[in-house]
Chains A and B, each alone.
Chain A
Amino acid sequence: MIETLRKSIATLRSPAPFFSLRYVEEECEVLAVRQDTIEPPRLVVDRGVMVTAVTEGGYGYCATSDLSPAGLQAALDRASAWARATAATSVHAYSPSEMPAPRGERLSALAAAPSLARSELFDLLADECREARIDDRIVERYAALELRRVERLYLTNTGADVHQRVSYAVPYARVTANHGAQTQARSFLDARQGGLERVGGSGFIGCGKRLADEALQLLSAPDCPSGRMDLLLMPDQMMLQIHESIGHPLELDRILGDERNYAGTSFVTREMFGEYRYGSPLLNVTFDPTIQGELASFGYDDEGERAEKVWLIRNGVLERPLGGRLSQLRASLPGTASSRAGSWNRAPIDRMANLNVEPGASTLAAMIASIERGVLMRSNVSWSIDDSRNKFQFGCEWGELIEDGEIKGVVKNPNYRGVSADFWRSLRMVGDASTFEVHGTLYCGKGEPNQVIDVGHASPACVFAGVEIFGGA
């Protein structure tokens, strides 16, 4: 299909001086075992193209799964009509001559044909499911593996040709325990790029029994205490904290107001870049799509911008927003290669990719030892934040009470709330490389029409001072 499309674009005709063709092909297979029973396997083959046209002042798109020459030409005709129709009313005066024509490729090794047969993969999942059956209070056991390959091609009538391919093997497990009106769950997710070869080292093998044991511990644990105290966030919850209260507020399209009707706006304004103290001097945040294996690594964004590591927050000071080429032009600010689309049927918008907190200098032991009274939290279970990304409340599956520098025991229903603008300034310790973990989420929702996308977040463990913490019921 890639070569066919390369030939096809030369045959397309449009009154628009600039047009592009963005092809996405995705093959996916989801295998799962629930309650020791194999769930029906699901195969997905999705392919389609978004054709975009730019005239003087206007922009339009048309997405179709009809990849025949006639289908592509019809899509280009519709996109061109949109560009003409919106030339006088667009938020940005588009200029065809300014559209770049990048060339390049980033092709991850094709996931080798699985070295394990499907039945062996099911055995892998069944083992974890079965091993989680350790007590009558375990009420649901689920283990799954998602195998996915995505291929993208970006072509323009001006000579651009960017070809990218990436593979994923994402293991997931969840075990739920119940006693009376109390239910607790523990889950495992390792969302990263790569093939099956990395599942073995992901921590998935053996997780079933561990999750079951932890869910049972939570059932009999006391509720998380309430009050202002120190908060030690482990990397899998730092992922959510970074995502919601750094990533989204720094998205330039939110700052420009595009998302005010849906995903929301931002407490960050254009004037803040270069001088606003976002966090304590310990806070260093980078946009880095070049990290091998992190979920949203890529060579080029979906409009062909070459990706590179960029510092967004350095020593606590806000330097740069997350925004692709168009938003940078509209805001007159530098940005990132982060114009991304969920699939072929959705237009690129400003997105996070890999958004990471850089490691600091503290060991986990030193962080725990420094806490007089506080709670360690891991594994997000609940998230809520206001539309300007300021007032948040997050909850975790797992909590551990810390008193006088020591872990005292497990607590259930750990929650905390705060305000982004203050929260990051209360960052008082940042874990060293030994605490650094790479995580990611497959489902970041945003945009109109709505679209989901994968993002990566790597972080060390971090300690925040004087956070409002509380439990359940």
Chain B
Amino acid sequence: MKTHYFQLIDALCRELNTGETLLSHLSGESSDFVRFNHARVRQAGSVAQRRLALRLVRERRQASANVALAGDGSDLALGRSMLVKLREVLSQLPEDPWLLYPEDVQSTSSERRGALPRAEDVVRQVARAAGDADLVGFYAAGTISRGFANSLGQRNWHEVDTFNFDWSLHLEGDKAVKEGYAGFDWDPAVLEAKVRECAERLELMAKPSKTLAPGEYRTYLAPRALEEVTGLLELDAFSARARKTRQSALLRMEHGERLSPQVSISENIEAGVAPSFQEDGYVRPPQVALIAKGALGEPLVSARSAREYGLKANGANARETPEAIEMAPGALDDEDVLAALDTGLYVSNLWYLNFSDKPAARMTGMTRFATFWVENGRISCPVTPLRFDDTLYRMLGEKLAGLTRSRELLLGTSTYDERSTSSARLPGALLESLRFTL
């Protein structure tokens, strides 16, 4: 795909008129997808897709086109036809005062080959590992490719083979445990061990569930639960545009609110699986400190925001969302979590978070999968789904009792439009109290 893409852009660049600049981005994948229900196959298939974005600039005017490539010689004619359309659009546009694109050539290349199994073998391995268990899950694997090329001569390539098997084991009703196995080199023994460990945790769900009345409870949020909280913030809390237009969920931090000094959040591209370049061709800095010891840090600045607000672009994507969010660890050892929680809720997963009052960073969401009541440092019984509704300034501020020393690297499971290359590296969080409402 790399050769085809670069040859295609080379050919299109040769056809540019004087004064035209072409920027392009390729997003492709060759994926196997298998859905499981009751440890049997619900849907299995493969998807090969290559989406090319062409951005034509002339006389400070710009327009872009996204096309699906066939991957063969017909793509050149398609690219040419899009150039013709873009020229026609440009002729109807005024100058764009916020146009900015990288003019320094910074070419990069990164390829990581993995050891991926035949997906048909995964079907057998999953069925064997699940045994009699009611396993529901989704296996996604294959090669993900991202590329950038422009008429200034910059060439960037990022290609990685990954797998992501995300599953849950179910007892009855809402009694279930969720787990994942993701990486580059598939090992059926690791899969079996993880499913076995998951099944052991499911046994804890067999006890009668406790239904808690609304109120405040001491709560431990495991890394996957905390990921839902940071996931909600990712929408626009760190965006330069959202901050400038007073729409960031962290608005009150610009008016004096702070999180706990234990909380430091960064965009750490180095530690994730996202490309080191973004769709405009900017090479990203290794790290951007978004929250530093509880205080508001740098925003994520896209090229367009940089021009609009007079800021320095820092490699953010156009939506100014993190792609490799990381939270600094704390001092709580994993083996001490239950003792430190003492009596309260152990929340493995949260679900469907949204804002109750966004400018106040007040959010709501549900517990899901394995949520346990803990008494005197021992797991007592599962708890039926609860709705929380609380502010970030309490959760990761005045009520944050501690963060775990170990962190979990969670590779993004999203497959909207394409397989995600995002990740999160997070500790668990112990809260002195969390407000539950329903």
Contacts and interface: CB of A to CB of B under 8 A. Distances in A.
Chain B interface size range: 35 or more
Contacts of B46: 61-63, 78-79, 82
B174 A388 contact: yes
Contacts of B362: 472-473
B225 to A, nearest CB: 14
Given A89-B123, A393-B438, A65 B45 contact: no
Interface string A80-101: 0110011001110000000000
Contacts of A262: 138
A391 to B, nearest CB: 5
B226 interface: no
A261 B167 contact: yes
B438 A43 contact: no
A417 B438 contact: yes
A257 B37 contact: yes
A25 B251 CA distance: 42
Interface in A163-196: 176, 178, 180-183, 185
Interface stretch (B66-74, B267-275, B339-347, B399-407): B66-74
Contact of A261 (B50, B85, B136, B360): B136
A43 B72 contact: no
Interface stretch (B12-20, B155-163, B285-293, B364-372): B364-372
B241 to A, nearest CB: 9
Nearest to B34: A86
Interface stretch (B93-101, B197-205, B323-331, B424-432): B93-101
Contacts of A417: 387, 437-438
Interface in B97-156: 97-99, 120, 123, 127, 136-138, 140
A66 B85 contact: no
Contacts of A43: 63-66, 82, 85-86, 89
Contacts of B414: 450
Contacts of A91: 37-38, 40-42
Given A86-B44, A89-B123, A386-B351, A451 B255 contact: no
Interface in B190-213: none
Contacts of B82: 43, 45
Given A61-B43, A85-B44, A260 B136 contact: yes
A267 to B, nearest CB: 10
Contacts of B138: 261-262, 448-449
B130 to A, nearest CB: 11
A122 B67 CA distance: 23
A113 interface: no
Interface residues of A, number: 81
A379 B341 CA distance: 40
B181 interface: no
Contacts of B137: 261
Interface stretch (A12-20, A33-41, A288-296, A311-319): A33-41
Contacts of B41: 86, 89-91
Contacts of A345: 47, 49
Contact of A65 (B49, B360, B438): B49
Contacts of A391: 366, 385, 387, 438
A163 B43 CA distance: 25
A66 B72 contact: yes
B246 A382 contact: no
B70 A89 contact: no
Contacts of B385: 386-388, 391
B353 interface: yes
B316 to A, nearest CB: 17
Contacts of A183: 246-247, 251, 358-359
Nearest to B167: A261
B247 A42 contact: no
Given A256-B37, A382-B356, A45 B45 contact: no
Given A89-B40, A386-B368, A391-B366, A449 B66 contact: no
Given A66-B71, A345-B47, A393-B387, A38 B93 contact: yes
Contacts of B43: 59, 61, 347, 349
B35 interface: yes
A316 B358 CA distance: 35
A38 B94 contact: yes
A37 B96 contact: yes
Contacts of A117: 92
Interface in A429-448: 445, 448
A182 B247 CA distance: 9
B interface secondary structure, majority: strand
Contact of B65 (A44, A90, A122): A44
A349 B33 CA distance: 14
Given A86-B41, A183-B251, A65 B48 contact: yes
A43 B63 CA distance: 8
Contacts of B357: 413, 415, 471-473
A395 interface: yes
A452 B308 CA distance: 32
Contact of B74 (A68, A347, A473): A68
A176 B246 contact: yes
A355 B387 CA distance: 27
Contacts of A381: 355
B202 to A, nearest CB: 13
A50 B48 CA distance: 10
B302 interface: no
Nearest to B366: A386
Given A40-B63, A42-B64, A65-B48, A180 B255 contact: yes
A42 B70 contact: no
Given A42-B66, A89-B40, A450-B415, A178 B35 contact: no
B127 A45 contact: no
Interface string B165-193: 01110100010101000000000000000
Interface string B251-277: 110110000000000000000000000
Interface string B357-389: 111101011101000000000000000010101
Nearest to B365: A384
A119 B415 contact: no
Contacts of A40: 55, 62-64, 96, 99
A258 B136 CA distance: 7
A66 B48 contact: yes
B140 A449 contact: yes
B354 interface: yes
A48 interface: yes
Nearest to B386: A391
A219 to B, nearest CB: 11
Contacts of A308: none
Nearest to A393: B364
Contact of B123 (A86, A122, A471): A86
A431 to B, nearest CB: 27
Among A38, A90, A178, find the residue whose CB has the most chain B CB atoms closer than 10 A. A38
24 contacts: A40-B63, A41-B93, A50-B45, A61-B44, A62-B46, A65-B48, A66-B48, A79-B46, A91-B42, A178-B246, A178-B247, A257-B37, A261-B166, A386-B366, A388-B385, A391-B366, A391-B387, A391-B438, A393-B356, A393-B387, A417-B437, A449-B47, A449-B138, A472-B356
| List of 7 A-B pairs having minimum Cβ-Cβ separation, nearest first | A472-B357, A61-B45, A449-B415, A448-B138, A178-B246, A43-B65, A140-B245
Interface of B: 31, 33, 35, 37-38, 40-51, 55, 62-72, 74, 78, 82, 85-86, 89, 92-94, 96-99, 120, 123, 127, 136-138, 140, 166-168, 170, 174, 176, 178, 245-247, 251-252, 254-255, 308, 351-360, 362, 364-366, 368, 385, 387, 389, 414-416, 419, 437-438
Given A45-B82, A349-B43, A472-B362, 11 more contacts: A41-B93, A43-B64, A44-B65, A61-B46, A67-B70, A71-B71, A183-B251, A258-B136, A347-B43, A393-B389, A472-B357
